[in-house]
Each structure stands twice: as structure tokens, then as C-alpha cells.
Amino acid sequence: MDTSPQQPAPNQPQEQPLTPTPEVATQADPAPAEPATPTESATPVESPATTPALEAAAPVAALPKPRKGLAITALVLSIIALLLGLAWPISALFGLVAIILAIVSLAKKRSGKGVAVAALIVGGVALLLVPFWAAVSAEVYNNISEKVNETSQSTTNE
């Protein structure tokens, strides 16, 4: 085994130690030195404190949180519209408002696109079910009114 120090290849540049140049004052230097003349240093070496990669960056403001308010509101209203079934006028109103809010949220290109799409679908289903719920509630109303009429007639006949 050869224990002699390895010589760099002839085409590779030799590493030079980083030493502060006279024109760059460091914190350890009590007084700034005279500026270097062009003949003193052919290639100035930057100290690590002055390299662009290590310069202190300006503080970055915190990014605003994504705004999903319209999309979430639309989804909540559409779920309520779907659950209100027999109260079909309120269901229709909530479904319509939910669809409008979902469209506005999608048009403004806010975050929460998936929530807005879900609200649009659920609100649409709620609006499509309004005629069904209106027919069911009308049938329930007719059945109840018939029973009330039968009961009132039977009590008056006795």
C-alpha cells in the first residue's frame, strides 16, 4: 500500500483555503482594513458571510389560509335541504341557496373545490326531490284531513 499523499489530477483545480480578503471586514476584525489593490489579489475570495446564498432573507408574511367558507356553507345548507324533506318549501329554499353558493365558490376559484362540487350535487338532489316531497306531504295532508273530518262527523252524529 502506498502511504504517500495523493496528488490531484492535473486537470482538477486545487482547493484553496478560504481566507478573508482585506476588503471584507469580519466580526473578528476590530477595524476595517485598507482596500486591496488589484495587484495584491488576482481572484478575490468571498467570505462565507458575504455569499448570496447565506445572506439573511427578508421575513416572509404568513400565507393566508385557504378560504372554504362558501363551499362549506353550501354543503351544510344542501344537507339540511335534503333532510328537511316534508317541509318541502324550506327544503327548496335551502337547496336553491346551496346551489347558488356552490356556484359562486367555484366561480371565484377558491380552495375547497371538492366541497363545492359535493354541495352542488347534494343541493341538486334536494331540489330534484322537492316535487316528490310536495306530493308526499300533500297526500299526508289529505289523509290527515279525511281522518279529522271522519272523526268530527262521527262525534256530531252521536
pLDDT in tens, 66-122: 678 888 889 999 999 988 887 888 889 999 999 999 999 889 887 888 999 999 999
- Per the structure, the count of domains in the chain is 1
Give the Cα separation of 24 and 45 in Å (integer). Answer: 10
Is position 139 within any domain? yes
Is position 57 within any domain? no
Is position 110 within any domain? yes
| HEC letters along 4-27 | CCCCCCCCCCCCCCCCCCCCCCCC
Q: Alpha helix locations (H) across 9-112?
A: 69-83, 88-107
- State residue 99's pLDDT score: 93
Q: Which three cell numbers stand for residue 91?
A: 327544503
Closest C-alpha among 68, 55, 23 to residue 41: 23
Is position 64 within any domain? no
Domain region containing 135 = 69-153
pLDDT-derived band at 24, boundaries 50, 70, 90: low
Give the Cα separation of 93 and 78 in Å (integer). Answer: 10
Is position 55 within any domain? no
Is position 40 within any domain? no
* Positive or negative: CA dihedral 78, 79, 82, 83: negative
pLDDT-derived band at 158, boundaries 50, 70, 90: low
pLDDT in tens, 27-45: 555 555 555 555 555 555 5
71 close to 110: Cβ distance less than 8 angstroms: yes
